Structures are given as structure tokens and as C-alpha cells.
Amino acid sequence: MKHLISLYDLTLEDFEEIFNLSERLKKEVKAGIQHHLLNGKTLGMIFTKSSTRTRVSFEVGMYQLGGYPLFLSSNDIQLGRGETIYDTAQVLSRFIDGIMIRTFDHKDVEDLAKYGNIPVINGLTDLMHPCQILADLFTVYEKKGTLKGLKMAYVGDGNNVANSLLHGCAKVGMDIAVAAPKGYECDKEIIVQAKEAAKLSGCEIILTEDPNEAVKNADVIYTDTWVSMGQEAEKEKRTKIFMPYQVNKELFSLAKEDAIFLHCLPAYRGYEVTEEIIDGPQSAIFDEAENRMHVQKAIMALLMAEK
């Protein structure tokens, strides 16, 4: 594993290695044990999209690993003023030890990895959100003790989160059902890739417009905001289309009794999910958010530590 760009690039062994190290680092930090695996290393964090969880989890995580997190907004670097990805990648490779980028265009992440000489981590693009889904799957593993054979139900917009969930679940052998309205389905190429991976891992992929079908007998129910950054002008239209996909008590009752609820946050209570679900006893959203840091620490350590 040279970079973390797409979960489709990872093997099952990569997932296991990330989760095992995440578990170890989480236990150590809870016990007050220092683990400066990246002592003297610097991570450049490029943000062209604002964030709460991504910035704080990477910044604090890098500090706990003994390294230095360098925040770079689009206003701080020449990339936001027309410098090429090639030049940016070449220059940063001379200064720092790794790059995390949270941006719009997925190709920017691919090009940074292509033209630079240091590890690149995809912190989010409009197409994928691999770090989030690794934290999600790690959270499910903590709660359920396994992943293979479980059923994940994703209800709502077929966005970057849903795309990476397809990749992740297919790789680890977890059944996944995605319910999205017509015109808001997951990326077609990612669906093809996920189905290929599912054949190898032996899991089932269900793509439907019916949220009831998706949620039936699910072990995990997942949703995300209906209006992502850059889609604010579509809020009224999207709200009408997605309201039948709201995760509420009635929909949740179709899942298994011990099902858990996940949401990558930020959440808009009363829209994609009701308060009684997101704030209820089966919600694991804050464990999920915390695990962003532990899993990303594992990713950074595996990519940037001395071999």
C-alpha cells in the first residue's frame, strides 16, 4: 500500500492490517501510552473543502504519532491560484513526508500520487471518501465482532460515502444494500468494481429504489446528508425527493433488533434521520466519529513510518 486513494485498491490483508493497528493504537492512547511512530515526520494537509472531523482527526492524530501536521488551505498555497498539480506534487515531495488532501475533483488526488514521490491520502473527493468508510467498518467490527456475513443498508443519496461503502463492503465480504432514488444512484464504474470484488469475497450487493427492501434484516443502517457541499441551491428539490428515504422509527423497525445506526456527520436532524434514531441507544455516530482518528493514525503510520 503506497497510497490511500480508493478502497478498491486495497486487499483484504490491507483492511486487516489497518484494523489491527487501529485497535492497538486506540488501546494505547486510552491507556496514556505514547506511540511516536512518525517522530520527525510532516504531513501536509491540503483543504479545498472545509471540514470538522477530517481536519481535527488528522491533526490530532499526527500529533499523537509524534509528527507535525501542516494545514494548507487553498488560500495558502499556489495550487489554489493556478499552479499545476505536477509542480505542487514535485515541490511538496522535497519538503514533507506525506499528503492528505480533501478536495472536489478525484483526479487531483490521483495526480498528486502520480507526480509526487510521497504517500497521498484521500481525505475526501466528490467521488470517494475512503478514510470515512474505513472508520465506519472498524466501528462495525468493534460493535459486532465481525464484518463478513453482516448486512449494511445505506439509504439516501448515492454519493461519495455510498460509493466507498460499496467498495469497502465488497472487499471485506459484507453484504450491502443501497437504496437511492432514480437519478441519484451510485457511480456506475464503482458499481461494476464493487460487483467484481463481491464475487471474490462472496457477499451480496443489492441496488434498489426501495428503502424498505434495503433495510430489511440489516445489521447496520447508514445514511448521509441529502445536500452535500456545493449542492445548496438544490436543497428544496432534494428534500422533496429524499424525504421518503428518511431513517425513522418505522424504517428502522425493519432491521434486526440489534442493528446499529451510522452517519458520517454533519447530520441534519429531522431530514435524513429523526432525532429518536440518531440520538437513540442504537446510534454509534460518536464512536464512529472518534474512530476516524484512530483509523487514520493507522493509515498514516503504515504509509509514512520507516519500513
> Does the annotation mark 263 as catalytic?
no
Among residues 55, 129, 263, 294, the one annotated as catalytic is 129
* 230 Cβ contact partners less than 8 Å away, ≥ 6 residues apart: 104, 126
Instruction: Report the sign of the C-alpha dihedral through residues 44, 101, 264, 27, in that order.
Output: negative
Q: How far is Cα 148 from Cα 168, in angstroms, rounded to an integer?
A: 11
Say if residues 246 and 225 touch (Cβ distance below 8 Å): no
Helix (H, G, I), strand (E, B) or coil at 223: strand
Radius of gyration (C-alpha) of the chain in whole angstroms? 19
CA-CA-CA-CA torsion for 177, 182, 187, 191, nearest 10 degrees? 40
Catalytic annotation on 292?
yes
Residues annotated in a binding site for carbamoyl phosphate: 51-54, 78, 102, 129-132, 264-265, 292
Active site residue 203: no
In the annotated binding site, the residues are 51-54, 78, 102, 129-132, 160, 224, 228-229, 264-265, 292
The binding site for L-ornithine consists of 160, 224, 228-229
Instruction: Tell me, yes or no, if 167 is annotated catalytic.
Output: no
CA gap 66, 16 in Å, rounded: 24
187 given a catalytic annotation: no
Of 3, 55, 64, 102, which residue is the catalytic one?
102
Q: Which residues pair with 43 in a beta bridge?
A: 69, 98
| Look-up of cell digits 455510498 | 162
Find out whether 216 and 254 touch, Cβ atoms under 8 Å.
yes
For cell 492497538, the residue is 24
- List the catalytic residue out of 55, 264, 294, 296: 264
Grid coordinates standing for 87? 509542480
Catalytic residue among 187, 292, 294, 296: 292
281 DSSP assignment: T
Alpha-carbon span 7 to 201, nearest angstrom: 14
Annotation says 132 is catalytic: yes
The CA distance from 4 to 113, in Å, is 9
Given 132, 193, 246, 296, which residue is catalytic?
A: 132
Active centre residues (catalytic): 102, 129, 132, 224, 264, 292
